[in-house]
A and B are shown apart, each in its own frame.
Chain A
């Protein structure tokens, strides 16, 4: 406090000082000390499907489950790996063995103690072929896992495995006492989870809302906010109206909402907006087994024919950056010097002509051997950004003579019936990015089987070799060079046309204090958000 304290000589002065002092204190942010109470209401477009983390792959399920379950490790605000349920760990044996020392006194939400047996059980479940999970990949590298005592968990890998440590998140910690010997796919835990995290599930009304209440016994300290409620509102425009009407506290804004609808005095007074590069990228993926897309020149041509700046300007209203490969531009392993594809329709046409595509019948559409260059791109319903991106691409491709149709599919059908069965020509999709550069599961040629993530069928022996090497190398600088090379090759091959990395645009009601944007985003310290007493809105028991 820049207030010089000099004792005044007169009693009046003395009183003045006291009064001024009180005034200063009153002026200072009321309740600088966090208090308990209130709840936060967030909105989601889709409902959760399954609250057992390893069994679901949709973002909503993971968001909710993330508040109910914890892992052995987590990322702090600067994206460093720190312990969560694990107090500490040691790495030995050329990096092949990790020994986790688990926290004592952690309890499941039904009162049972958490022990290493739960981790062992989680591991066994996720690698069990009967468990329908998308996340087994990292755990299949494990040679041996043991729980020598209730607070020690030791895992040994077949080969040194760089992504190992970060894989032990909340995916693999399950309450053994409730699931052992039972079929996990039929477990009531999918709708009534029992975790050990900061929140417990209070209520899940399908397609309406999910209510979580604070877990008083949370080992890391009870969260300040009593409740977390997620409302399912399938329509973004309605969600925004609810935000304005006070029915929502927290939602992700669309670029239009961010740029054009939230700068009024009302918003400035009642809400705070944030923006940061989101941990994802959007791409146009080609089915590499399709006769059209087998030829690298065709893929490169399409990349030249698309104006990515235009997409960022038109779809993201500038709130995003171009993606040149499978990583965010601010990651330590991002290679800024790969081949780029600036908008160049003439070059695109030339490349296409070189591969045999010309408009021989004058109908405006390129053809080859009598077949017109016409294909359908699939994308998921309910995503206006992808929809607009598709339309812009359709327009630009139309200008160089390629006819592209757009088809939108409901998510589950899309994944199960089309992606998993490789029944598509091209797709517009996105990937969420983790903190580790390992992208083996998406790009290695061994991952092209049904239901696996290399669904476009990319097979490059050099990339394969580098992917394996990248997993085995621990030295950060060496790893960086390896992934640099991979990005160069991918940029040349264009198995995807990498489109953009959007920005995350959350908006939160101003009454919530404690939000501190950091490299990890803003939700990393969600359990330390709080609301001053006089601004609290919701009484929750």
Chain B
């Protein structure tokens, strides 16, 4: 690790701070969307938000104090990971509830991303190399369909087919219930694997479609360039041209795209976690919205956004590692 890189990393990390503050500001703003007091007696029989709820929110977030005091309190809490206590009967700390579910969501999203990369890149490369071939056209059609299909619908169809008809794969939870503790590590891994197949696949569909498209267009872009023609002219075998020269360069912008797709992946968690009964932060978001458990859903929102921020930082770092131009300060204006 040389000095330049460290400096660059630190600079990038510092640049995240205003973004982080922005995230907290927007979340803070969302909290104040709660409507005010009911206007008439009629409304009192059926208000949208009860005085008790307002009272609790007031107490938890100090909503009756001046705005800047509120924000300071909110921010301080965030820094200490004190996100308040859940409104649900168990009154547990919000952070505890989120903490125990984060690993699962992260695991599935990481696996999903891995799947996307492993499948999309070869697909996109092949489509680019054989532009307008049958392969290219078929994959293009499939991509369009995958883009347009609602993920939860696909999940339902898969559940119906693989889970019920064929009974190959389990349809809920992370692992078998009974006898789990007695399994040895290898069987435990297999068990988790079987349960994760459908969720990871559903999570990855949209990303697969998009990413293979981007790979294809990035590849096409690179293949048009001069240095490729030069390489071919030099008589290098096609394989080397494609994989050694073109691909390397095509991959660069893809890293950024990958970073940009993180929020989409995490957002998708809400759907498949609810469908497959996976105890992750997506399902937590859904259940806390249904229960109007405001502290939990606000805390969840902030934590997940921060995660995305970190994900982007990692993507940037990855980019820098791969592209030496960044490290030495030469940058293209976006």
State whether the Cβ of A474 lies closer than 8 Å to any Cβ in chain B.
no
Residue contact A209 to B177, C-beta cutoff 8 Å: yes
Expressed in whole angstroms, the Cα–Cα distance for A238 and B173 within the complex equals: 10
A412 touching B88 in the complex, CB below 8 Å, given contacts A376-B46, A417-B50: yes
Residue contact B44 to A423, C-beta cutoff 8 Å: yes
Expressed in whole angstroms, the Cα–Cα distance for A209 and B279 within the complex equals: 13
Residue contact B291 to A241, C-beta cutoff 8 Å: no
A207 touching B179 in the complex, CB below 8 Å, given contacts A245-B170, A424-B46: no
Chain B residue with minimal CB distance to A412? B89
State whether the Cβ of B263 lies closer than 8 Å to any Cβ in chain A.
no
State whether the Cβ of A311 lies closer than 8 Å to any Cβ in chain B.
no
State whether the Cβ of B310 lies closer than 8 Å to any Cβ in chain A.
no
State whether the Cβ of A381 lies closer than 8 Å to any Cβ in chain B.
yes
Contact of A247 among B44, B50, B159, B176 (CB under 8 A): B176
A410 touching B178 in the complex, CB below 8 Å, given contacts A241-B171, A416-B52, A417-B50: no
Expressed in whole angstroms, the Cα–Cα distance for A229 and B181 within the complex equals: 15
State whether the Cβ of A430 lies closer than 8 Å to any Cβ in chain B.
no
Residue contact B45 to A287, C-beta cutoff 8 Å: yes
Residue contact B291 to A413, C-beta cutoff 8 Å: yes
Chain B residue with minimal CB distance to A232? B277
In the complex, what residues of B have CB within 8 A of residue A538's CB?
A: 178-179
Residue contact A423 to B89, C-beta cutoff 8 Å: no
Expressed in whole angstroms, the Cα–Cα distance for A381 and B46 within the complex equals: 17
Residue contact A206 to B90, C-beta cutoff 8 Å: yes
Expressed in whole angstroms, the Cα–Cα distance for A168 and B109 within the complex equals: 53
Residue contact A245 to B167, C-beta cutoff 8 Å: yes
State whether the Cβ of B62 lies closer than 8 Å to any Cβ in chain A.
no
Q: Mark B146-170, 1 if CB is under 8 A from A, else 0.
A: 0000000000000100011001001
State whether the Cβ of B324 lies closer than 8 Å to any Cβ in chain A.
no
Chain B residue with minimal CB distance to A287? B45
State whether the Cβ of B253 lies closer than 8 Å to any Cβ in chain A.
no
Expressed in whole angstroms, the Cα–Cα distance for A241 and B169 within the complex equals: 12
A231 touching B170 in the complex, CB below 8 Å, given contacts A417-B53, A423-B44: no
The smallest C-beta distance from B202 to any residue of chain A, in angstroms, reads 15
Chain B residue with minimal CB distance to A537? B178
Contact of B171 among A231, A245, A376, A539 (CB under 8 A): A245
State whether the Cβ of A425 lies closer than 8 Å to any Cβ in chain B.
yes
In the complex, what residues of A have CB within 8 A of residue B88's CB?
A: 412
In the complex, what residues of B have CB within 8 A of residue A206's CB?
A: 90
In the complex, what residues of B have CB within 8 A of residue A229's CB?
A: 177-178
In the complex, what residues of B have CB within 8 A of residue A425's CB?
A: 45-46
- CB neighbors of A among B61-90 (8 A): 88-90
Contact of B45 among A41, A209, A423, A539 (CB under 8 A): A423
In the complex, what residues of A have CB within 8 A of residue B172's CB?
A: 233, 238, 241-242
- CB neighbors of B among A389-439 (8 A): 407, 410, 412-413, 416-418, 421, 423-425
Chain A residue with minimal CB distance to B159? A241
Chain B residue with minimal CB distance to A413? B292
In the complex, what residues of A have CB within 8 A of residue B287's CB?
A: 234
In the complex, what residues of A have CB within 8 A of residue B90's CB?
A: 49, 206
Contact of A421 among B50, B171, B291 (CB under 8 A): B50
Chain A residue with minimal CB distance to B277? A238
Residue contact A238 to B53, C-beta cutoff 8 Å: no
Q: Mark A191-216, 1 if CB is under 8 A from B, else 0.
A: 00000000000000011110000000
**Subset of 9 A-B contacts with CB under 8 Å:** A206-B90, A238-B277, A241-B159, A241-B163, A247-B176, A247-B178, A410-B290, A413-B291, A417-B53
Besides A49-B90, A244-B164, A412-B89, 17 other A-B contacts (C-beta < 8 A): A39-B178, A233-B172, A233-B277, A238-B277, A241-B159, A241-B163, A247-B170, A247-B177, A247-B178, A378-B46, A381-B290, A416-B52, A417-B52, A417-B53, A421-B52, A424-B46, A425-B46
